[in-house]
């Protein structure tokens, strides 16, 4: 390394830091996994650091970093299948009395902590609105229905607001090719994307009350009280299980017959994921301590809980900064 290269690379670390969270959000939207997104982000920053002395400034540093991140994501997606949610595999729902089945061949969509993608308190309100809408679980799950290059085109054009010519240059195609890919991506999202009213927003007083009541009901395992707090047609998903349930009666049956624990066996802690409210559930073990059990992420439509995504992956607890025992 020459003496002129070192100051440039040292300068890069400070200049790139403000973009870290938005780069992670972009990688997460592309990949559907917080773990994969972190890996690709690190690869992006290393590649950018090594090449910073050749950065000519023909675009902004932010744009240059997003170029590297996008190409890294596309490489990472080669040969991979999409990361679905259970309802994305089967739109009919399951019988709560049928055996629960895991499919080890499926890699599931993962939630991402708000803090990791810049959705913490104090962020620019205008930025928060767009960021919440484009990292919400339903939107990221819908993106999984798109081929990787269509996904990239949609995100670059509609989230990052790149010009079609910029996207065409990055992807080695034409403006007409970009516009065609964007049109196909929009058509596919229209078929699978969530309703606009499901987009996350700051909780209302009534929504906060519902969540507080949910915590109280779950900690005493009062199934009747739990399901009474859900919308009549609530959707309940539980990756890594393929089964998912629709409606209070099916959710109640699942909680009564499949969900472990009884009154006093759960402790719940609030979390924020994908711009949405959530809870970390700890289950009492044989040692009397409470150990990680699952993360739940809630979708509200108005003042109703219409979707509960229950992630039974205790490896997510460290990602959310949660303690290993309570």
How many Cα atoms sit within 13 Å of 269 on the Cβ side?
Answer: 17
Q: State which of 145, 168, 198 marks the end of a domain.
A: 198
Residue 186 shares a structural domain with residue 53? yes
Residue 184 shares a structural domain with residue 217? no
Q: How far apart are the first and last CA of the chain?
A: 49
d(CA 88, CA 67): 30
Query: Domain range holding 103?
Result: 5-198
Q: Are 317 and 280 in contact (CB under 8 A)?
A: yes
Q: Is the pLDDT of residue 23 over 90?
A: yes
103-117 average pLDDT score: 93
Lowest-pLDDT range of 183-197, 233-247, 261-275: 183-197
d(CA 86, CA 314): 18
* Nearest in space to 41 (alpha carbons), one of 142, 143, 49: 49
Query: Residue 322 has which token pair?
Result: 């949660």
Q: Is the pLDDT of residue 243 over 60?
A: yes
Q: State which of 172, 198, 224 marks the end of a domain.
A: 198
Query: Does some domain include residue 325?
Result: no
Three-state SS annotation for 187-227: HHHHHHCCCHHHCCCCCCHHHHHHHHHHHHHHHCCCHHHHH
Q: Is the pLDDT of residue 132 over 90?
A: no
Q: What is the pLDDT of residue 129?
A: 77
Query: Residue 73 has which token pair?
Result: 């994501």
Query: Does some domain include residue 150?
Result: yes
Q: Are 86 and 237 in contact (CB under 8 A)?
A: yes
Query: Does some domain include residue 326?
Result: no
Query: CB 10: neighbour CB atoms within 10 A?
Result: 11
Q: Which of 84-93, 100-109, 312-321 has the highest mean pLDDT?
A: 312-321
Residue 176 shares a structural domain with residue 253? no
Q: What is the pLDDT of residue 4?
A: 46
Is the bond preceding residue 176 a cis peptide, omega within 30 degrees?
no
Residue 216 shares a structural domain with residue 297? yes
Q: What is the pLDDT of residue 273?
A: 97
Residue 82 shares a structural domain with residue 137? yes
Q: Is the pLDDT of residue 20 over 50?
A: yes
Domain of 281: which CATH number? 3.10.450.50
User: 2 pLDDT band (50/70/90 cuts)?
Assistant: very low
Query: Residue 215 has which token pair?
Result: 């915590």
Tell me the C-alpha to C-alpha distance, in Å, between residue 276 and each of 19, 200, 227, 287, 289. 22, 6, 20, 33, 28
Beta bridge mates, 295 = 280, 311
Query: Residue 304 has which token pair?
Result: 């109703």
Residue 158 shares a structural domain with residue 253? no
Q: What is the pLDDT of residue 198?
A: 59
Residue 149 shares a structural domain with residue 217? no
Query: Does some domain include residue 60?
Result: yes
Q: What is the pLDDT of residue 197?
A: 53
Q: Give percent of the chain above pLDDT 90.
A: 79
Query: Does some domain include residue 26?
Result: yes
Query: Does some domain include residue 221?
Result: yes
DSSP readout, 87-134? GGT-TT---TTSPP-B-TTPPPP---BTGGGT-STTS-HHHHHHHHHH
d(CA 49, CA 53): 8
21-37 average pLDDT score: 97
- The strands making up 244-246's β-sheet, listed across from edge to edge, are 244-246, 230-237, 304-311, 290-301, 276-284, 266-273
Q: Are 217 and 74 in contact (CB under 8 A)?
A: no
Q: State which of 198, 218, 237 marks the end of a domain.
A: 198
Q: Is the pLDDT of residue 13 over 90?
A: no
Q: What is the pLDDT of residue 11?
A: 86
* Nearest in space to 182 (alpha carbons), one of 212, 157, 218, 213: 157
Mean pLDDT value across the chain? 92
Query: Residue 131 has which token pair?
Result: 């960021």
For the chain, the domain total comes to: 2
Q: Is the pLDDT of residue 3 over 50?
A: no
Query: Does some domain include residue 324?
Result: no
182-196 average pLDDT score: 85
Residue 215 shares a structural domain with residue 191? no
Residue 169 shares a structural domain with residue 308? no
Query: Residue 45 has which token pair?
Result: 């920053």
Q: Is the pLDDT of residue 267 over 50?
A: yes
Q: Is the pLDDT of residue 149 over 70?
A: yes
Please tell me whether residue 151 adopts helix, strand or coil conformation.
helix
262 or 192, higher pLDDT = 262
Residue 37 shares a structural domain with residue 132? yes
d(CA 221, CA 283): 11
Residue 100 shares a structural domain with residue 115? yes
Residue 127 shares a structural domain with residue 244? no
Q: How many residues does the chain have?
A: 326
């Amino acid at each position: 390394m020459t003496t002129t290269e070192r100051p440039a690379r040292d300068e890069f670390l400070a200049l790139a830091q403000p973009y870290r969270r938005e780069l992670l959000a972009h990688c997460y939207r592309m990949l559907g996994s917080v773990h994969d997104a972190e890996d690709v982000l690190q690869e992006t920053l290393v590649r950018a650091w090594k090449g910073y002395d050749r950065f000519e400034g023909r675009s902004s540093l932010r744009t240059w970093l997003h170029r590297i991140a996008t190409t890294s994501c596309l490489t990472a997606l080669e040969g991979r299948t999409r990361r679905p949610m259970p309802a994305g595999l089967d739109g009919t729902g399951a019988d709560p009395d049928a055996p629960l089945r895991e499919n080890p061949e499926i890699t599931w969509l993962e939630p991402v902590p708000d803090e990791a993608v810049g959705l913490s308190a104090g962020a620019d309100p205008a930025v928060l609105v767009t960021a919440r809408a484009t990292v919400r679980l339903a939107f990221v799950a819908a993106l999984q229905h798109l081929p990787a290059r269509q996904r990239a085109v949609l995100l670059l054009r509609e989230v990052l607001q790149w010009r079609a010519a910029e996207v065409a240059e990055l992807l080695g195609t034409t403006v007409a090719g970009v516009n065609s890919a964007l049109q196909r991506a929009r058509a596919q999202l229209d078929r699978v994307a969530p309703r606009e009213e499901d987009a996350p927003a700051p909780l209302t007083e009534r929504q906060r009350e519902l969540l507080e009541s949910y915590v109280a009901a779950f900690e005493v395992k009062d199934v009747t009280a739990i399901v009474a707090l859900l919308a009549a047609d609530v959707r309940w998903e539980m990756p890594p299980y393929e089964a998912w349930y629709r409606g209070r009666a099916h959710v109640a049956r699942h909680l009564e017959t499949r969900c472990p624990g009884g009154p006093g066996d759960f402790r719940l802690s609030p979390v924020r994921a994908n711009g949405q409210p959530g809870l970390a559930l700890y289950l009492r073990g044989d040692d009397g301590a409470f150990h990680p059990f699952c993360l739940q992420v809630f979708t509200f439509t108005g003042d109703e809980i219409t979707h509960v995504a229950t992630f039974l992956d205790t490896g997510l607890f460290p990602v959310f900064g949660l303690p290993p025992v309570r």
